[in-house]
Amino acid sequence: MAPMGIRLSPLGMAVFCLLGLGVLYHLYSGFLAGRFAFFMLSEPGGGGAETPRGSAPGGTVDLRELLAVSVLAAVRGGEEVKRVREGNVLNAKAKGKTREGAEEQLTSGDLLSNRRMFYLLKGAFPAVQINSEERVDTADEETVSWDRSIPEEIKQKIQPKEVPAESVTVWIDPLDATQEYTEDLRQYVTTMVCAAVNGKPVIGVIHKPFSAYTAWAMVDGGSNVKARSSYNEKTPRIIVSRSHAGKVKQVARQTFGNKTVIIPAGGAGYKVLALLDVDEKNQEEADVYIHVTYIKKWDICAGNAVLRALGGHMTTLSGEEISYTGSDGNEGGLIASINMNHKALIEKLPDLEKTSHK
């Protein structure tokens, strides 16, 4: 007999057991469903937190997104460049000599701009190779996030285009024209980002920190800058490095005539902008850009991409295309033009190619 005089029939016991099993089944199935949902959400593509494109080997990169973050990186780096210069806390020091024996300067502006630009790009596209002029010190690592927003101007002009992440190489110049920066020749200073796909430059961003002007372009996409339409091929205005003006002047005037104008200037970014229709009062205008010695690829990649996007050319002095993979230097000098007969220009300058390897 059961306690309290209650008699439990076999049928009642069976019903009680079935109800208990039902409750246990309900609880346990809910637990399993929760675990399954957690598993699915934590898997890539399962609807969980978005994984940045290009974050794993074999991933893809949307070039429109890369252009957007490249523009932001150039601007953010430019803010550091401007802040250091206006605060007059350059802390300039020599970091070595060029092949020509000139001292290369390094400032706080270079380093702070480089850190901001590198980590912004690396955070957005972790799997993409990034080459920068300045060394990245892991002790100074910082988290610089991108909210993945794309400016309306880029949305309107550029369509999404995905490429394999392993095909992309990004080149950063955190402060172009450092020598001029130390001399307070601010008009020559730029920050630049370039993206090459399989060695060919396809995205170029050139930003002028002290006027907040930014030129950007994507090959087979669009741009926010145009080429100038008026040129004189017979007596072109040739823009060159300040230190090379004398060397180029003699050969150029022998080739094009005594009326040829030589424009000495600082910074590869500034020189490329001189070939374009730029609404800047401190920007000179030129028809051809020539460099007669070894030059680093982060100096020229962005300008090369912008020119290509607008139908222009940047080659070595012998007419070879410049590949933006492998070593960080270009041995063959360069000649850049737009809306001109580039091949004819190269043929007129045979003597300059010999000097580019010195």
What per-residue confidence (pLDDT) applies to 32?
41
**β-strand pairing of 237-241 with 288-291:** parallel
For residues 251 and 197, the model is more confident at: 197
The answer to whether 82 and 208 have CB atoms below 8 angstroms apart is: no
Q: Which residue out of 110, 190, 191, 287 is catalytically annotated?
A: 110
Cβ count near 153 (within 10 Å): 13
Question: Cα–Cα distance between 76 and 350 in angstroms, integer?
Answer: 41
The most confident of the ranges 25-39, 230-244, 339-353 is: 230-244
What per-residue confidence (pLDDT) applies to 69?
98
Examine the pLDDT at 210 and tell me if it is beyond 90.
yes
Examine the pLDDT at 338 and tell me if it is beyond 80.
yes
User: Domain 60-223 classified CATH 3.30.540.10?
Assistant: yes
Indicate the pLDDT class of residue 94, thresholds 50, 70 and 90: confident
**β-strand pairing of 288-291 with 334-337:** antiparallel
For residues 23 and 161, the model is more confident at: 161
Domain boundaries defined on the chain: 60-223, 226-348
Please choose, from the candidates 309, 247, 220, 320, the residue with its C-alpha nearest in 3D space to the C-alpha of residue 272.
309
Residue set of the binding site for Mg(2+): 133, 173, 175-176, 299
Question: What kind of fold does domain 226-348 have according to CATH?
Answer: D-Maltodextrin-Binding Protein; domain 2 (3.40.190)
Residue set of the binding site: 133, 173, 175-176, 299
What per-residue confidence (pLDDT) applies to 131?
96
Cβ count near 342 (within 10 Å): 18
Please choose, from the candidates 322, 302, 83, the residue with its C-alpha nearest in 3D space to the C-alpha of residue 214.
302
Task: Provide mean pLDDT across the span 152-156.
Answer: 97
Examine the pLDDT at 330 and tell me if it is beyond 90.
yes
The answer to whether residue 178 is catalytic is yes
Examine the pLDDT at 256 and tell me if it is beyond 90.
no
Mean pLDDT, all residues of the chain: 84
Task: Provide mean pLDDT across the span 105-115.
Answer: 95
Percent of the chain with pLDDT over 70: 78
The answer to whether residue 328 is catalytic is no
- State the Cα torsion 263-268-271-277 to the nearest 10°: -170
What per-residue confidence (pLDDT) applies to 9?
58
pLDDT tens-digit profile of 5-62? 445 555 555 545 555 555 444 444 443 444 333 333 333 333 333 444 554 455 999 9
The answer to whether 68 and 154 have CB atoms below 8 angstroms apart is: yes
Task: Provide mean pLDDT across the span 317-321.
Answer: 95
Task: Provide mean pLDDT across the span 238-244.
Answer: 91
Q: Which residue out of 107, 169, 178, 315 is catalytically annotated?
A: 178
What per-residue confidence (pLDDT) applies to 294?
93
Cβ count near 301 (within 10 Å): 29
Two domains, one topology: 60-223 and 226-348: no
Cβ count near 273 (within 10 Å): 27
